[in-house]
């Protein structure tokens, strides 16, 4: 493969660019004579910073503009944080590759004055910043005495707001903090028993045109099979529940002895109702495991909870 030019569509945020530059470097490292360029742009989710994510709606909130570039031939691939990529993609596009996963857990970041506390020891009324309904619902379920407040902006902006005293602590993805060089700010990795992570969290998804065999061949060098199997199960679970990125749905997955174990959770926003279960199956058909787990949770009342949440958003 010689003198092939590949253009990547990416969000402009610092984290998105770090992730996209990593993909560029890896592709150029593995494929000689490949020229990779980056087209950076702002998405709807980057522009609207004064409204909670859940109220905007999440169909392509961080992806639509990048996908448009591919559909009109201005980009060959788009690099996404996989947790931001909807489970149903526009016609003509596909998820071509899932990269090796960074730590998918949520992390607690605290202000200097509160570094003696862990999540479980913060006093009543402490202000916790999060923009995620998934985190909000699970933490309200475990720590109803804490005060939760919406926080928007990129990772650096959120840390600045924390350090300025607007919050006592904030919850962020450990993967994003590590990729941006803020690993030292991780005060506590939040256990799965407390907060299941978002679908696809910690992995990168590379989207491309469905019929572009050459591009699919190029990006396949970055595919990590165990991560892909886990994330496909997680995404099938989310798709079967007809949930989006901004709904209180959490997961955890692991592979042992060619068996994939998927744990899933659906909760009401107030945290008072939380349904959790798990499924184990063959790594050869990860999507079957995700669908089966979704059906199990539906039988336990997950559908009713999600319907109430969607109706609440429509009214607002």
Tell me which residues are annotated as active site: 84
**Site of tokens 């639509």:** 64
3-state DSSP: the chain helix, strand, coil percent, rounded to 5? Answer: 40, 25, 35
Query: E strand or H helix at 262, and its extent?
Result: strand 259-267
Determine the Cα–Cα distance for residues 228 and 97; give it in Å rounded to an integer. Answer: 8
* Ranges assigned E (strand) in 139-236: 147-149, 169-173, 188-189, 204-209
Determine the Cα–Cα distance for residues 68 and 104; give it in Å rounded to an integer. Answer: 28
Nearest CA among 169, 208, 206 for reference residue 70: 208
271 close to 144: Cβ distance less than 8 angstroms: yes
- Give the three-class secondary structure for 153: coil
253 close to 261: Cβ distance less than 8 angstroms: yes
């Amino acid at each position: 493969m010689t003198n092939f030019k590949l253009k990547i569509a990416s969000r402009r945020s610092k984290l998105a660019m770090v992730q996209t530059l990593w993909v560029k470097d890896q592709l150029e490292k593995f494929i000689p004579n490949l020229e990779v360029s980056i087209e950076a742009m702002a998405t709807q989710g980057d522009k609207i910073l004064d409204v909670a994510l859940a109220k905007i709606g999440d169909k392509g909130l961080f992806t639509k503009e990048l996908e448009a570039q591919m559909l009109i031939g201005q980009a060959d691939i788009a690099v996404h944080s996989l947790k931001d990529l909807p489970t149903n993609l526009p016609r003509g596009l596909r998820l071509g590759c899932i990269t090796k996963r960074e730590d998918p857990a949520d992390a607690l970041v605290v202000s200097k004055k509160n570094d003696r506390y862990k999540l479980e020891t913060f006093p009543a009324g402490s202000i916790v910043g999060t923009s995620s309904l998934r985190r909000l619902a699970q933490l309200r379920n475990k720590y109803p005495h804490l005060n939760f407040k919406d926080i928007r902006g990129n990772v650096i902006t959120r840390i600045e707001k924390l350090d300025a005293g607007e919050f006592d602590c904030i919850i962020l993805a450990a993967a994003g903090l590590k990729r941006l060089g803020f690993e030292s700010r991780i005060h506590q990795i939040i256990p799965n028993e407390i907060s299941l992570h978002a679908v696809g969290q910690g992995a990168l998804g590379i989207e491309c045109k469905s019929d572009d065999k050459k591009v699919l061949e190029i990006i396949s060098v970055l595919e990590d099979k165990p991560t892909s199997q886990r994330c496909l199960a997680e995404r099938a679970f989310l798709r079967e529940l007809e949930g989006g990125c901004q709904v209180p749905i959490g997961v955890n997955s692991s592979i042992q002895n060619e068996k994939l174990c998927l744990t899933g959770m659906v909760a009401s926003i107030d945290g008072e109702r939380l349904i959790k279960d798990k499924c184990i199956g063959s790594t050869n058909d990860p999507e079957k495991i995700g669908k089966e787990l979704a059906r199990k949770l539906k039988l336990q009342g997950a559908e009713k909870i999600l319907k109430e949440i969607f109706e609440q958003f429509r009214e607002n």
